[in-house]
Amino acid sequence: MKFRTLVEPPEPMRGLEVPPEVMEELGGGARPPVTITINGHSWQSRVAILRGRHLLGLSNANRRAAGVEIGEEIEVELELDTEPRVVAEPADFAQALDENPAARAAYDSLAYSHKREHVRAVESAKKPETRQRRIEKAITTLLKGQTS
């Protein structure tokens, strides 16, 4: 479904406001997973509730990719995202998890966003030794029962 909204400044409690009638028609609960499309640029997120407002986050990267500016009124296309969210594990990280069943079980029980954080940390390493340290840190963190 499509609606128009204002690109609000990136201050606390701001984002793209989703009108109540859109939330009602969308279904999926109070904080549904959604696919957001602006000017042909799409990404996945969740609707947030902040101070009684339903909001979509709009990062600087997504704002630039969609070609929109703060203060601009824009058209947003919003779809309920019913597909399971899956994080693609890099082969070396997956191998380390598979070699430690307790770490694998802990990782598999994490929410999508926490899995994504671990993978992002591993994939953003520039040097092989940094990547290996980050994998080891993730395994240790998981074994301690922490999320990240």
Q: In terms of domains, do 107 and 72 share one?
A: no
In a shared domain, residues 27 and 50: yes
Per-residue pLDDT at 56: 94
Question: What is the CATH number for 24?
Answer: 2.40.30.100
Which two three-digit tokens encode residue 109? 């029980």
* CA terminus-to-terminus distance, the chain: 35
**Domain identity same for 22 and 73:** yes
Separation in Å, CA 114 to CA 23, 111, 140, 141:
26, 5, 15, 12
- Each residue of 39-54: pLDDT tens digit? 999 999 999 998 889 9
CB 106 within 8 A of CB 62: no
- Considering the domain boundaries, does residue 148 fall inside one? no
* pLDDT score recorded for residue 9: 81
Q: Is residue 130 part of a domain?
A: yes
How many domains does the chain divide into?
2
pLDDT-above-70 percentage for the chain:
96
The answer to whether residue 13 is domain-embedded is: yes
The answer to whether residues 40 and 110 belong to one domain is no
Residues 6+ apart with CB under 8 A from 7: 16, 58, 63, 68, 69, 70, 71, 72, 73, 74
Could you give the dihedral angle defined by the CA atoms of residues 64, 68, 69 and 75, in that order, rounded to the nearest 10 degrees? -150
Contact residues for 119 (Cβ-Cβ < 8 A; gap 6+)? 87, 88, 89, 90, 93
Range of the structural domain that residue 104 is part of: 91-143
Instruction: Give the single-character DSSP code of 10.
Output: S
Q: How confident is the model at residue 129 (pLDDT cuts 50, 70, 90)?
A: very high
My answer on whether 95 and 72 are in the same domain is no
> Would the pLDDT of 30 be above 90?
no
The answer as to whether 86 is a domain residue is: no
The answer on 118 and 48 residing in a single domain is: no
Q: Is 105 left (phi over 0), alpha (psi -120 to 50) or beta?
A: alpha
